Amino acid sequence: MVSQILVTESDYCMDKGYFMEAMKKTDPVFLILVLAALITGCTSTPKTAVPNPNVPDFVLNPPVQEDHIFGIGSAKLPSVNQALITAEERARQSLVFQLYANVQAMITDYTRSMSMEHAPASQEFAETIGRQVTHMTLSAAVPVRRQKTPDGTFWVLIAYSKADAAHILAGIIEHEAARYGEFKALDALKMMDQQLMRSRTKPEVVNQ
């Protein structure tokens, strides 16, 4: 094995000497061109991703505000008016999904603090509130952006005041809490307001 390595290194030295001698005889202009090509290949900049023209900027980077939450909906229909109406309805549904998640988080925090997280009444209470939240229409939500992309899809971004959301959700919670002794001491408005203010969830796009 050692002798084999020595022979290999000797051959390499001979080849290297031959290579150096050949380089001396090569046209200098040719060498410069080869070196320039190598340098260019090593320093070429990577390709940047091309933005999708069929996805609005407010979908890729949804706005985040302390006092509002946002919903995004889209629709692609033959009728422009129907597409806009449908996209707006879906944007409101996007808001509902966020409110539902925040209500469930608030109720979970409360039941844990009262050491009744796994009580049957708490699970029933959360399910009852959840069903009512999913049927909210949120008529006070305001469209702030409408956009049609090249593929014919209409997109709508709507905003909803966190203060308004807290009042409506607190009303639903307090109405149901009257039926459950465990939740009569629940300060729904305060807890719901705190939950929404610390929430920074990005809106889920609803497209169907």
From CA 63, how far away is CA 71, in angstroms rounded? 10
Question: Which among 101, 112, 72 has a CA at the least distance from the CA of 89?
Answer: 72
Q: Read off the pLDDT band of 14 (50, 70, 90).
A: very low
Q: Read off the pLDDT band of 6 (50, 70, 90).
A: very low
**Do strands 68-75 and 205-206 pair parallel, antiparallel, or not at all (unpaired)?**
parallel
Question: Which among 110, 136, 133 has a CA at the least distance from the CA of 121?
Answer: 110
Higher pLDDT, 81 or 200: 81
Q: Within a 13 Å sphere around the CA of 103, how many CA atoms are in the beta-carbon half?
A: 28
Range from 10-24, 57-71, 163-177 carrying the lowest mean pLDDT: 10-24
Helix or strand run (H / E) with residue 175: helix 162-177
Q: Read off the pLDDT band of 37 (50, 70, 90).
A: low
Range from 70-79, 136-145, 173-182 carrying the lowest mean pLDDT: 173-182
Q: Read off the pLDDT band of 48 (50, 70, 90).
A: low
Question: Which whole number is the average pLDDT over 89-106?
Answer: 94
From CA 75, how far away is CA 82, in angstroms rounded? 9
Long-range contacts of 64-67 (CB under 8 A, 24+ apart): 64/200, 64/202, 65/159, 66/162, 66/197, 67/161, 67/162, 67/163
CB of 66 within 8 A of CB of 199?
Answer: no
pLDDT digits over 151-202, tens only? 999 999 999 999 999 999 999 999 888 887 778 778 888 999 999 988 877 8
Rg (CA), the chain: 32
From CA 66, how far away is CA 21, in angstroms rounded? 73
pLDDT at 63 over 60: yes
Amino acid at 185: A
Q: Which residues of 45-59 are buried (b: 16+ CB within 10 A; e: fewer)?
A: eeeeeeeeeeebebb
Q: Read off the pLDDT band of 123 (50, 70, 90).
A: confident
